[in-house]
Amino acid sequence: MSSRKANGNANGTVAGSTHDQKTDYTRWRMRDERGQQIWTYISPEEAAKWPQSIPEKYHLGLPTGLPELPAALKPLDAARNGLRFFSKLQCNLGNWTCEYGGPLFLLPGFIITWYVTNTPIPEHYSIEIKNYLFARQNPDDGGWGLHIEGHTSVYGTAMNYVVLRILGASPEDPRMIKARAMLHKLGGATNGPHWAKWYLSVLGVTSWDIVNPVPPELWLLPDWMPIAPWRWWVHMRQVFLPMSYIWSKKFTYPENQLIRDLRQELFIQPYESIRFGSHRNDIADTDNYNPKSWLLNLVNFLLVWLWIPLFRTKSLVARAEAWTWHLVQREDENTDFANLAPVNQPMNALCCYIHDGPDSESFARHLAHFADFLWVKHEGMLANGTNGVQTWDTSFAIQAIIEAGLEREPEWRPVLESALDYLDSQQIREECRDRESCYRHNRKGAWGFSTREQGYTVSDTTSEALKAVLMMQSLPWAPQPVSDERIHDAIDVILTMQNATGGVSSYEPARGSEKLELLNAAEVFGRIMVEYDYPECTTATVTALSLFGSIDNKYREKDIALFKYRAVDYIRKAQRSDGSWYGAWGICFTYAGMFALEALASVKETYARSARVRKGVKFFLDRQMADGGWGETYKSCETGVWCQHEKSQVVQTAWVVIGLLECGFDDPEPLRRACRLLMQRQKANGEWEQESIEGVFNKSW
């Protein structure tokens, strides 16, 4: 198909139907490896010897054969039915695994990196990734957004269009024509945000002139400087690190026919006429969630017109590239090449390809980890937001079973013991290599969000995992695999997480000023430059320390008391005048409010004793829907105000119920109505089905 015809049909329609391939879903298996489950496509012969498990069937959308259960007459019956179903999804390692999807900007990093390194993309991946992207294409305008419920954007549309073309989708497929028409309506790929322009330059579709500078020299700044990268939020610095190395190398994939075709398909003007340098700051309104500040525009101007042509010497570039490469190596080694997240993982892989070569061990180890982030479901294959949520989900599973009193029933003891074994195996037992020089926070004693191998301390995951361990090991029949010394290690690392405000951040205490947001170049995300206080992280640490204090009131007693005093003071101050708390890691006011009410109750601030708690409860009661539930959309995260969902949501209803129960709310009727809704939504086999997304991070994804 000629590129001219593809471009000419950009706004047209093509008659005919599409016939997408599908893999044989009975051949997908989850392989237990490195503390997680990795989807693997096996041969028919292997499938005959390796029966599909219930978790595999469930996550693929295949019939599980699980029986219908007796109808629940009481909320506790519903909880027991839910556990009967949920326990069947427990994996061999003792954890629970699941889709952690939603973002639509993650797959392009993997696919483009595979492509530009000439790495064959497995056919079964290619088939199911195409299926997923077409399934998640906006049915009205043909585009894609930043996440599956977001509005269409240049970033989502241009990058996922590129993915589909790399994977073999025809430019004359009606869906591709519709996507291209929408992209052109938004001004074409030159109107994409910084990250999109960076990847398109790596691919060779655009010139590096279109990318605002990402100089690795910033990593040479003295640590005392307010803008030094070590002060940035860990996700931002771990993305900027490989991004700056590759920008400095100006790596570009050689031109071929697909690149020439994409140059004709992604822009609204002929490729040959585009002056890419004049489009560095162009961005569509749909993508401009966080507009560049006047300061960032000034910095970019000075870098382009003064720093690069006049002062960026070869020797300085060599020093900067050498230091950034050293830091890339430390990130790889300290995570066993799993890396922090699916944004920096393929970027680090490309760094290794450039520096060590295509046949290097470092590049091969990265490629082996790509599958860690890929998930298969009935719609196809997607990229998860991390390499899983194993520790997080397993911690809450233990807590939920014990809070419901079901640990007293012998049939659940194997489930709990296996889950405890998993948490025991996933606690981080050692510090990073060169921890201080590579700007890593303490991690000995912590639990990461996903696995021990990923290796990053997370404040609330450590707290929730510690609570689960303490609750389990307080049971008379339970084993005691986590020693007092290791519990003390967890307490020690929690006590390092507090900010001067009394609040707690996610991965490490805040290191830089919020004014660094003036240098936020990502455009599509808000509040990403530094760590912030988070009510949900703060409350998790308070409840963990309260539980620990009820078991051991001697270890670091004064330090814990001071930490809790300052943390609770922050939680009080974080409450808004309407009684709510804003949540950053879930949607949104329901999520943070649940945690806040639980934390206040742990220090004896209950509904009966605290006007503050009663105000928080009133905020929820004023928003209870006619059917008894609660529902809030992701727009609450973007706008900072409550955005009512058109339909009540099971998850948010459950969150509110937990908060009301924890704080000792004394009116049974709102709780009765909410529980009735939860019971009505439960399926006959005990499960609750997925409804709308429950979390949006960094305001917009």
Q: What is the pLDDT of residues 416-436, one digit of tens each?
A: 999 999 999 999 999 999 999
In one-letter notation, the amino acid at residue 366 is H
Bridge partner list, 147: 103
The predicted pLDDT at position 18 comes to 53
Q: Which residues, 6+ apart, have CB-to-CB distance to 465 below 8 Å?
A: 391, 394, 395, 423, 426, 427, 447, 490
Residue 583, φ and ψ in degrees, nearest 5: -105, 140
Q: What is the CATH architecture of 107-383?
A: Alpha/alpha barrel (1.50)
Instruction: Give the end-to-end CA distance of the chain in Å, rounded to a whole number.
Output: 36
Q: Is the dihedral of CA 200, 204, 208, 210 positive or negative?
A: negative
Share of the chain above pLDDT 90, in %: 95
**What number is the average pLDDT over the span 636-645?**
94
**What number is the average pLDDT over the span 551-558?**
97
The predicted pLDDT at position 398 comes to 98
pLDDT band at 175 (very low <50, low <70, confident <90, very high): very high
The predicted pLDDT at position 10 comes to 38
pLDDT higher than 80, residue 633: yes
Does the active-site annotation cover 20? no
Q: What confidence tens digit (pLDDT) does each residue in 471-523 have?
A: 999 999 999 999 999 999 999 999 999 999 999 999 999 999 999 999 999 99
**Distance between CA 128 and CA 93 in Å, rounded?**
27
pLDDT band at 542 (very low <50, low <70, confident <90, very high): very high
Mean pLDDT score across all residues of the chain: 95
Catalytic residue among 460, 492, 666, 667: 460
What angle is formed at CA 638 by the lines to CA 632 and CA 641, rounded to 5 degrees?
55
The predicted pLDDT at position 4 comes to 31
What residue spans define the domains of the chain? 107-383, 576-701
Q: What confidence tens digit (pLDDT) does each residue in 268-291 have?
A: 999 999 999 999 999 999 999 999
The predicted pLDDT at position 328 comes to 98
Per-residue tokens: 58? 């469930």
Q: What confidence tens digit (pLDDT) does each residue in 576-590 have?
A: 999 999 999 999 999
**What number is the average pLDDT over the span 610-623?**
98
**Distance between CA 620 and CA 589 in Å, rounded?**
9
The predicted pLDDT at position 12 comes to 30
The predicted pLDDT at position 700 comes to 56
pLDDT band at 6 (very low <50, low <70, confident <90, very high): very low
Share of the chain above pLDDT 70, in %: 97
Query: Which residue reads 């994804």 in tokens?
Result: 701
pLDDT higher than 60, residue 15: no
Query: Which residue reads 């390692």 in tokens?
Result: 93
Mind spelling out the 3-state secondary structure of 514-526?
HHHHHHCCCCCCC
Q: What confidence tens digit (pLDDT) does each residue in 297-347 have?
A: 999 999 999 999 999 999 999 999 999 999 999 999 999 999 999 999 999
pLDDT higher than 70, residue 26: yes
Secondary structure (3-state) at 31: strand
CA 523 to chain centre: 18
pLDDT band at 699 (very low <50, low <70, confident <90, very high): low
Q: What confidence tens digit (pLDDT) does each residue in 666-682 have?
A: 999 999 999 999 999 99
Closest CA to 358 of 116, 123, 121: 116
Closest CA to 636 of 677, 578, 694, 571: 694
The predicted pLDDT at position 698 comes to 67
The predicted pLDDT at position 695 comes to 79
**Distance between CA 417 and CA 473 in Å, rounded?**
10
**Distance between CA 289 and CA 699 in Å, rounded?**
9
